[in-house]
């Protein structure tokens, strides 16, 4: 597999197999690492650098099994995925880091944040979790073992950029194995009880019409941090951030660079 020169960028400290940088920044003040949702890909965040401060570099995680890594098997075990991403991030610890995780990506980001803090003593600037229940409120859905029709119905109910593609048989055949693998990772994930507290401050974001995640589910993220916690409920469904990206990312940039 090859990765484009633009994706690698100059003097990248980030593993180009795992991270895509839509706008490389040679000497970033901070790196914002973004973790996609189930079935999602790094390109979900490709427009975000337009609304971030010029000295903040966005690095989107490219999970195996999608986009230019589509020939690789998707990782179906949370510990394996979090371990591999945390290891790939080690060279990037020369700069402050913040994480943003949407849906499944919120759980992955949390697990990676715990590893970075526990193994390397580095505390993130902030962990931002979106549209995903806190570890103490997660319950397996069983959808990873459901029929294709049931799984597709759930994906389309949530919406997002690829849900309409599942109406096309050829695209469904291409996308569904990776989506099912991600749902299996979610179904089989068993967070530690109680979840170890980390020092990083946490911000939780939720759409007010999310069909699967409620305000109490997001507020429980306060249990994972010894730092400050904040919850913001925004207009929209599970993918509220699609319509609100310009204002949301601008505000996120201010939050991460203030102080």
Assign 139 to helix, strand or coil: coil
Structure tokens at 65: 């099994």
**Do residues 207 and 132 lie in contact, with contact meaning Cβ atoms separated by under 8 Å?**
no
Structure tokens at 159: 């919406």
Question: Where are the strands (E) in the chain, listed by range?
Answer: 19-20, 30-35, 56-61, 97-102, 126-130, 202-207, 229-234
Question: 129 forms bridges with which residues in the sheet?
Answer: 101, 204
- Among 37, 102, 103, 110, the active-site one is 103
Number of CB atoms found within 10 A of residue 45's CB:
26
Assign 113 to helix, strand or coil: helix
Structure tokens at 79: 């510990």
- Report the distance separating Cα 185 and Cα 156, nearest Å: 19
Assign 9 to helix, strand or coil: coil
Structure tokens at 258: 């203030």
Catalytic, 103? Answer yes
Number of CB atoms found within 10 A of residue 102's CB:
27
**Do residues 224 and 198 lie in contact, with contact meaning Cβ atoms separated by under 8 Å?**
yes
- Report the distance separating Cα 62 and Cα 15, nearest Å: 10
Structure tokens at 108: 């992955």
Catalytic, 238? Answer yes
Catalytic positions are 103, 238
């Amino acid at each position: 597999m090859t990765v484009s020169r633009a994706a690698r960028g100059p003097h990248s400290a980030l593993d180009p197999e795992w991270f895509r940088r839509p706008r490389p920044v040679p000497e970033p003040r901070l790196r914002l690492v973004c973790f996609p949702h189930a079935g999602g890909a790094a390109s979900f965040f490709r427009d975000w650098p337009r609304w971030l401060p010029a000295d903040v570099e966005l690095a989107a995680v490219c999970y195996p099994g999608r986009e230019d890594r589509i020939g690789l098997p998707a990782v179906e075990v949370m510990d394996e995925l979090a371990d591999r991403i945390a290891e790939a991030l080690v060279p990037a610890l020369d700069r402050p880091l913040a994480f943003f995780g949407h849906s499944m990506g919120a759980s992955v980001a949390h697990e990676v944040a715990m590893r970075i803090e526990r193994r390397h003593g580095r505390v993130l600037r902030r962990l931002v979790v979106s549209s995903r229940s806190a570890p103490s409120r997660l319950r397996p859905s069983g959808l990873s073992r459901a029929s294709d029709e049931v799984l597709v119905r759930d994906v389309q109910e949530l919406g997002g950029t690829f849900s309409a593609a599942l109406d096309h048989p050829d695209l469904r055949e291409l996308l569904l194995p990776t989506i099912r693998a991600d749902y299996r990772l979610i179904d089989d994930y068993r967070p530690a009880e109680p979840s170890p507290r980390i020092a990083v401050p946490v911000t939780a974001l939720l759409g007010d019409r999310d069909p699967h995640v409620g305000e109490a589910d997001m507020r429980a993220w306060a249990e994972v941090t010894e730092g400050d916690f904040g919850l913001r409920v925004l207009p929209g469904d599970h993918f509220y951030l699609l319509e609100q990206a310009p204002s949301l990312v601008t505000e996120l940039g201010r939050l991460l660079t203030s102080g």
